[in-house]
Amino acid sequence: MNAYRVAEAAELLGVSDDTVRRWIEADRLPAHTADGRTVVDGADLAVLAESLADHPDRDRTRASAVSARNRLAGIVTKVTKDTVMAQVELVCGPYRMVSLMSSEAAEELGLAPGIRAIASVKSTNVVVERP
């Protein structure tokens, strides 16, 4: 299972470290201590990221300054696969990204909810990479 430090979770969600800490204190985001650091499980972070994607204040986050033509770091929130194709959904700061790729590619990248990934956007194509 993937675990993210507070700073990493904040970067993926496009918010400040303090915001993530407040969410943890308010029990909005489950967290635990590992090696003396507060960490969040990737699956829990994906659930929160998905709920934030529909929030009306998402355009006020740090990541809103990032151009859509750039590589956008995010977290995988959903992977739907059949025998040939996979649909991968990511939340990259305030952006919800969807990529279609072969199921084989999704397997090779190890894509699953809670996994950190990068969406490379160019024209109408979204390329998903692992950092």
Note the pLDDT of residue 70: 72
Domains of the chain: 64-129 (2.40.50.100)
- The helix (run of H) or strand (run of E) holding residue 39 is strand 37-41
- Residues 41-53 have pLDDT tens digits of 999 999 998 888 7
* Residue in 89, 85, 79, 126 with CA at minimum distance from that of residue 105: 85
First to last CA, the chain: 16
Residue pLDDT tens, the chain, 131 long: 689 999 999 998 888 899 999 999 999 999 999 899 999 999 999 999 888 876 645 444 444 444 545 788 899 999 999 999 999 999 998 889 999 999 999 999 999 999 999 998 776 667 788 88
User: What DSSP character marks residue 14?
Assistant: T
- Residues 73-95 have pLDDT tens digits of 899 999 999 999 999 999 998 88
